[in-house]
């Protein structure tokens, strides 16, 4: 069995009386793409927010390669190599694509507390920015202001910014949400490509994409883990069918 890169122990988060995350203990292995499924409000985004340091857990622990990162803030989590993309597009609307990715790429300097030399002379940051734009498919759109792009392109940029930080572990919160079918296919291909060299934790409602990319799946309901297994196991699980897959097919 391969090495566990990220692990949670009895993770809980409540908002007032609402249990958004309930006793979640999961292990994510290096190199394995781990999909997280669940109906709306199941607590998927909350889980990602806990892992990325955006929220502090009410109780429980998070370990990244044996480091306890339970209390780490999102900047620290990013710096140790965990990147995340947001479900609700979270970009710098007035910046161009290039500038959006630049902020991500520049964050890998040992410090940006540099006051004298113009940033544009930083070759390494340039390279990372260009690479991120290339990967997310926006190389041609580099000088377009983010707010003037289509929603789908903004979603691509969302991923590009994360990639610019060159993370080892990627937390992807519904990367395909709101994309057209053509863009969706492109990004699914990108995810497959990224999965070769990275560890991915992927929340996605698009089942085709999940089944195409993920190796393992966890189904969440009401903040708790319902079942975890490989793709075939989850597809055939009756509990999962009832709780999630079944109901979403009914809805469709």
Partner 1 sequence: MYTLTRPILIFLCLGVAALVLFPLVGSEFYVGLLIRIMILSIFAISLDLLIGYTGLISFGHAAFFGIGGYTLAIFFQDADSINFWIALVLVLSCSALVALLVGWISIRASGVYFIMLTLAFAQMFYYFFFESPDFGGDDGIFLFSKPEILIGSTSLIDLEDEHNFYYFVLAWMVAVYLILSMILKAPFGHVIVAIKANESRVRALGYPVQRYKLVSFVIAGTLAGIAGFLEAAHTGYVTPAYLGWHESGIVMVIVILGGMGTLFGPILGAFVIVLLQDFLPNFTEHWQLLMGGIIIAVVLFLPKGIAGLLYRLSNRLFTSKEYADVSQNSGDTPATVDVREQSL
Ligand X SMILES: Nc1ncnc2c1ncn2[C@@H]1O[C@H](COP(=O)(O)OP(=O)(O)OP(=O)(O)O)[C@@H](O)[C@H]1O
The stretch near Mg ion (CB under 5 A) out of 82-90, 157-165, 184-192, 238-246 is 82-90
Check residue 35 for interaction with ligand X (CB under 6 A). Answer: no
Q: Which stretch binds ligand X (CB under 6 A): 22-30, 38-46, 128-136, 191-199?
A: 38-46
Of residues 42 and 210, the one with the C-beta less far from ligand X: 42
The reply to whether 129 sits near partner 1 by the rule CB under 8 A is yes
Three-state DSSP at 155 gives helix
| From candidates 21, 45, 52, 156, binder to Mg ion by CB under 5 A | 45
Q: Are 29 and 7 in contact (CB under 8 A)?
A: no
Tell which positions 71-130 bind ligand X, by CB under 6 A.
87
By CB under 6 A, residue 15 contacts ligand X: yes
Count of residues touching partner 1 (by CB under 8 A)? 44
Choose which of 27, 58, 87, 222 interacts with Mg ion (CB under 5 A).
Answer: 87
Q: What's the per-residue H, E or C state across 11-51?
A: EEEEECCEEEEEEECCEEECCCEEEEECCCCCCHHHHHHHH
Rounded to whole angstroms, the Cα distance separating 241 from 235 reads 8
Please give the structure tokens belonging to residue 206.
């698009």
Q: Distance between CA 1 and CA 34 in Å, rounded?
A: 15
By beta-carbon distance, which residue lies closest to Mg ion? 45
Binding piece for Mg ion, criterion CB under 5 A, among 15-23, 42-50, 185-193, 214-222: 42-50
As beta bridge partners, residue 239 has none
Compare residues 124 and 249 and give the one whose CB is closer to partner 1.
Answer: 124
Assess 59 for contact with partner 1 (CB under 8 A). Answer: no
State the alpha helices, DSSP H only, in the chain: 44-51, 74-79, 97-106, 123-136, 151-164, 181-197, 207-213, 231-236, 238-240, 246-251
89 binds Mg ion (CB under 5 A): no
Partner whose footprint covers residue 42, from Mg ion, partner 1, ligand X, none (CB < 5 to 8 Å by kind):
ligand X
Is 123 a residue that touches partner 1 (CB under 8 A)?
no
Count of residues of this chain found to bind ligand X when the rule CB under 6 A is applied: 12
Give the residue from 231, 202, 204, 206 showing the smallest Cα distance to 216: 231
With contact defined as beta carbons under 8 Å apart, do 187 and 159 qualify? yes
């Amino acid at each position: 069995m391969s090495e566990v890169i990220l692990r949670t122990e009895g993770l809980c988060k409540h908002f007032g009386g609402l249990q958004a995350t309930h006793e979640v203990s999961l292990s994510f292995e290096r190199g394995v793409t781990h999909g997280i499924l669940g109906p709306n409000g199941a607590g998927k985004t909350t889980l990602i927010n806990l892992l990325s340091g955006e929220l502090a857990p009410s109780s429980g622990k998070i370990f990244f390669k044996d480091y306890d990162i339970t209390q780490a803030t999102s900047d620290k989590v990013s710096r140790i190599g965990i990147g995340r993309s947001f479900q609700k597009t979270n970009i710098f609307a007035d910046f161009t694509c290039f500038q959006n990715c630049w902020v991500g790429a520049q964050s890998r300097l040992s410090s940006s507390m540099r006051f004298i030399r113009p940033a544009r002379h930083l070759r390494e940051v340039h390279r990372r920015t260009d690479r991120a734009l290339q990967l997310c498919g926006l190389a041609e759109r580099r000088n377009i202001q983010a707010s003037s792009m289509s929603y789908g392109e903004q979603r691509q940029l969302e991923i590009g910014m994360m990639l610019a930080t060159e993370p080892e572990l990627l937390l992807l919160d519904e990367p395909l949400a709101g994309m057209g079918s053509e863009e969706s296919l492109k990004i699914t291909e990108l995810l497959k490509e990224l999965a070769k060299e990275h560890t991915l934790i992927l929340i996605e409602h698009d089942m085709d994409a999940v089944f195409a990319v993920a190796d393992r799946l966890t189904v969440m309901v009401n903040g708790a883990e319902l079942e975890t297994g490989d793709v075939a196991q989850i597809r055939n699980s009756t509990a999962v069918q009832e709780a999630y897959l079944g109901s979403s097919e009914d809805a469709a």
